[in-house]
A = this chain, B = another copy of it.
Amino acid sequence: MSRGKQFLSDNAASVHPAVWEAMKAADTADAPYDGDALSRRMDDAFGELFARECSVLWAATGTAANCLALGTMVQPHGGVICHREAHIEMDEGGAPGFYLHGAKLLLADGDGAKLTPETIAAVADAVREGVHQVHPHAISITQASEYGRAYRPAELAAIGALSRERALPLHMDGARFANAAAFLGCSAAEAAGPVDALSFGCVKNGGMNAEAIVFFAPGLADVARFRLKRAGQLQSKGRFLAAQILAMVEGGLWLANARAANAAAQEIAGAAGDRLLHPVEANELFVRCSAEERAALRGQGFGFYDWGTGAGRFVTAWNTRPDDALALAKALASL
């Protein structure tokens, strides 16, 4: 179950034993779709985690989770303000265009792939009045961001204030929400801030193929339920998805796994020093290194992706072995 010296991504890591166990325990036949006892337990589990009432659905992928959440907020003629390097813009194969029936992503700037009230407002304000341009209907942020940066609670509060002021519901892509929360050292509620819907990631954090969609704003889940079925995402043995999610959430595994991944990242970050393109706040490292240096690292058995022409991206996971992290740290230090 080891990932060896691989730092390619956390998205294909092994499944955590506790998740396996929960899935096996779910094998007894139960009501189909989301009518089973486990699926029905999700609202309470997340309600407790976030200390806030919520309705929770599952989906097989983060792409589906993001798009189903946004689909409750955005009409087909509207748009979503997101960072120009957001996953929904860069890596989802046009899924937002599909799920949102042609709605448009309105791209905003921000350091470390994080939005600010100013960059959001700049996009919104640039839209001319009238019907000739697409108006924003929602905002989507990523916690932790695509560069592994975490929004602080105060930053979330400020974005939330803008969201309410402009009547633009707020979505959070939390594919690595756990890593952000672990870094921030705050409660789940504080790490989410005043979002209306959250894609709560499990797959990158020791799950197999289940992500949670947490709706805090009332009414949204009722729409999402229909859209989820219509998107071919309603699995008849949904209890196996709920089992994964509950295994993550109910016992605190989500946080423990994220802490392990973050710790490995910090070990490496310490050695990377000023080679780091971005402060390391979650489990992703963007490290400046030449093609020759990258070749040397690969020669030592390390797996990772090139990031542009002058850097590499290294990602740790819940099961990154301390020895492997240490070895990478040493290798980077010796470059």
Contacts and interface: CB of A to CB of B under 8 A. Distances in A.
Interface of A: 1-4, 6, 8-9, 11-15, 20, 24, 27-32, 36, 59-61, 63-65, 67-68, 75-77, 79, 90-104, 131-135, 203-204, 208-209, 223, 225-237, 239-241
Given A12-B236, A61-B236, A132 B32 contact: no
A236 to B, nearest CB: 4
Contacts of A91: 132-133
A237 B15 CA distance: 9
Contacts of A93: 77, 131-134, 226, 229-230, 234
Nearest to A235: B209
6 contacts: A1-B27, A11-B32, A95-B229, A209-B237, A232-B233, A233-B233
A12 B11 CA distance: 28
A6 to B, nearest CB: 6
Label chain A's interface by main secondary structure: loop
In the complex, the count of this chain's copies comes to: 4
A232 B59 contact: yes
Contacts of A36: 12
Given A15-B27, A235-B209, A237-B203, A94 B67 contact: no
A92 B61 contact: no
A232 B131 contact: no
A225 B131 contact: yes
B27 A67 contact: no
A278 to B, nearest CB: 21
A219 B129 CA distance: 17
Given A12-B30, A30-B12, A209-B60, A77 B234 contact: no
B3 A209 contact: no
Contacts of A12: 29-32, 36, 236-237, 239
Given A14-B29, A64-B231, A95-B229, 16 more contacts: A2-B28, A11-B236, A15-B240, A61-B234, A63-B232, A67-B232, A77-B227, A90-B133, A93-B230, A93-B234, A95-B231, A97-B103, A98-B230, A131-B234, A208-B237, A208-B240
A67 B134 CA distance: 16
Contacts of A27: 1, 14-15, 20
A1 B28 contact: yes
Nearest to A79: B94
Most central of A15, A103, A231 by chain B CB within 10 Å: A231
A136 to B, nearest CB: 12
A226 B77 contact: yes
B232 A60 contact: yes
Most central of A96, A102, A225 by chain B CB within 10 Å: A102
Contacts of A103: 94, 97
A228 B98 CA distance: 11
B131 A226 contact: yes
Contacts of A9: 32, 236
Given A15-B27, A60-B235, A230-B93, A101 B77 contact: no
